[in-house]
Structure formats: C-alpha cells, structure tokens
C-alpha cells in the first residue's frame, strides 16, 4: 500500500517543479489579465477588452495595455462652494 504521495512518485523530480511553475504562471497571468480587463472596461476600450480576453500572452499583453495604452484618469475636481456674503 502506498502513501498519499505515492502516486506522485511516478513523476520525475522536474515534473513536480514544472507543475508548480505552471501554476505560478497561471496565477501571474490571471492577476495581470484581471487588472487589464477591468481597466479596459472602465475606459470603454472594447477592442482591447476583446484582445485581452482572447489572446493568451502570459501577462505580457495586459502589462503593455496597463502601462502604455490605458488612459490615466484625471481626478475630478470637487466644486468648492463660495461663502455667501452677508449684507
């Protein structure tokens, strides 16, 4: 009878590291893609949204969009109420 990790012993040492690397790569891509998709949706960039959703570039395309093509949102000025003068 084999232990819990007995079934995984058929993987060579590099196989386990490859699986861990692949999992980290997937998480990396999901984080960058989520941020880029959110920014594209907020900026109404429909073409970029479709490209980011379909093309799998391991985070490269989302990073390019975030830092080079997304619009910087200007802070909206809060109107200051003028004090009424008493006569």
Model confidence pLDDT, tens digit, residues 49-73: 999 999 888 889 999 998 998 876 6
pTM of the model: 0.64
The sign one gets for the Cα dihedral 37, 39, 41, 45 is negative
Cβ atoms of 36 and 59 within 8 Å: the answer is no
Question: Is there a domain that residue 76 lies in?
Answer: no
DSSP letter, residue 70: S
- Total domains in the chain come to 1
Residue with tokens 């590291």: 17
Higher-scoring residue by pLDDT: 29, 76: 29
Q: Which residues form the domain of 43? A: 28-70
């Amino acid at each position: 009878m084999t232990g819990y990790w007995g079934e995984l012993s058929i993987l060579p040492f590099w196989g386990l590291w490859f699986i861990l690397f692949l999992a980290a790569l997937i998480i990396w891509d999901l984080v960058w893609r989520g941020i880029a998709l959110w920014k594209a949706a907020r900026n109404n960039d429909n073409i970029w949204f479709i490209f980011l959703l379909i093309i799998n570039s391991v985070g490269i395309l989302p990073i390019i969009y975030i830092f080079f093509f997304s619009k910087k949102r200007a802070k909206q000025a809060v109107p200051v109420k003028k004090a009424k003068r008493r006569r």
